[in-house]
């Protein structure tokens, strides 16, 4: 049997970590290859790691042909849906995959709309019958909030590769990475090089810099009466207390984020 490996297809989904690969290898050695490798013709679609391990150790395996594929986009969509359903995939990975699916679906919709009405679609998924993938739809598919999805989009667009790697490895949270991603690339890289503490500090500084500046207090008029001066003093006190309350809320939010990140690292 001839099995063809496409390196771009292999790299379409993030590779396993060293620990995950080692666990898979131990499982295959102990229990054999229970799940069939999925093929499209002779092209390997799913099971690249299992195939490599089986080849290495001479472990028998079965294959399964998927005859529903009509194009490489069909293959990509199947791979995305397959991985979105796995519990081991991180929030960031699910967000990236769901955004990829949105791009494919949107491109197919444009193709369907530009095709003459008498033309037959080359694939059922290209017919344009699927509902549009709104932000909420993508977020549901990725099982994250719309806000988190927006942060993932920002990381994809503006984060340095080193910062993206830190998110994928769990060194920094999506929330903090989105904040750091607003910095110039060299500052992002420097923060990643400095480790978790430096990344958290960078994220905190970005968040604090976004706080609105404190408004300057106006002086009462020169001819103000004692009652007007007292009212002005009380109004200034209200402004100061309101600002103090807002600052405390921000600190609570930052501490909550930091506590969540610390718990995830345990």
- Looking at the domain 1-67, which fold is it? 3.90.1530
Backbone angles phi, psi at 168, to 5 degrees: -60, -35
Residue 133: pLDDT over 60: yes
| Distance of alpha carbon 12 from alpha carbon 96, whole angstroms | 11
Residue 129: pLDDT over 50: no
What is the percent of the chain where pLDDT is above 70? 85
For residue 11, give the DSSP letter.
Answer: T
Q: How far are the Cα atoms of 53, 153, 197 from residue 66, in angstroms, in the given order? A: 22, 32, 47
Domain with CATH 3.90.1530 in the chain: 1-67
Span 62-110, pLDDT tens digits = 999 999 999 999 999 999 999 998 878 889 999 999 999 999 998 888 8
Span 187-235, pLDDT tens digits = 999 999 998 889 989 988 888 787 666 666 677 777 778 887 788 788 8
In this predicted structure, which of 47-51, 94-98, 117-121 has the lowest mean pLDDT?
A: 117-121
The helix/strand/coil state of 195 is coil
């Amino acid at each position: 049997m001839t099995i063809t490996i496409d390196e771009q297809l292999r790299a379409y989904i993030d590779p396993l970590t060293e620990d995950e690969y080692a666990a898979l290898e131990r499982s295959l050695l102990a229990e054999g290859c229970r799940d069939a490798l999925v093929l499209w013709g002779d092209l390997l679609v799913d099971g690249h790691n299992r195939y490599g391990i089986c080849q290495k150790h001479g472990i028998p395996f079965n294959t399964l042909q998927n005859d529903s594929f009509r194009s490489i986009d069909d293959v990509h969509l199947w791979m995305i849906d397959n991985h979105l359903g796995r519990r081991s995939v991180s929030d960031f990975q699910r967000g990236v995959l769901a955004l990829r699916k949105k791009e494919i679906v949107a491109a197919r919709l444009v193709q369907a709309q530009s095709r003459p009405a008498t033309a037959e679609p080359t694939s059922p998924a290209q017919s344009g019958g699927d509902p549009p993938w709104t932000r909420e739809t993508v977020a549901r598919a990725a099982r994250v909030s719309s806000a988190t999805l927006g942060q993932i989009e920002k990381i994809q667009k503006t984060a340095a590769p080193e910062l993206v790697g830190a998110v994928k490895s769990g060194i920094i949270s999506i929330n903090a990475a989105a904040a750091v991603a607003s910095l110039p690339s060299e500052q992002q890289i420097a923060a990643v090089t400095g480790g978790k503490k430096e990344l958290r500090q960078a994220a905190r500084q970005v968040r604090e810099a976004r706080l609105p500046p404190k408004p300057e207090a106006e002086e009462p008029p020169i001819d103000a009466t004692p009652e007007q001066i007292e009212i002005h003093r009380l109004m200034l006190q209200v402004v100061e207390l309101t600002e103090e309350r807002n600052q405390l809320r921000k600190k609570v939010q930052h501490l909550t984020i930091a506590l969540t990140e610390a718990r995830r690292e345990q």
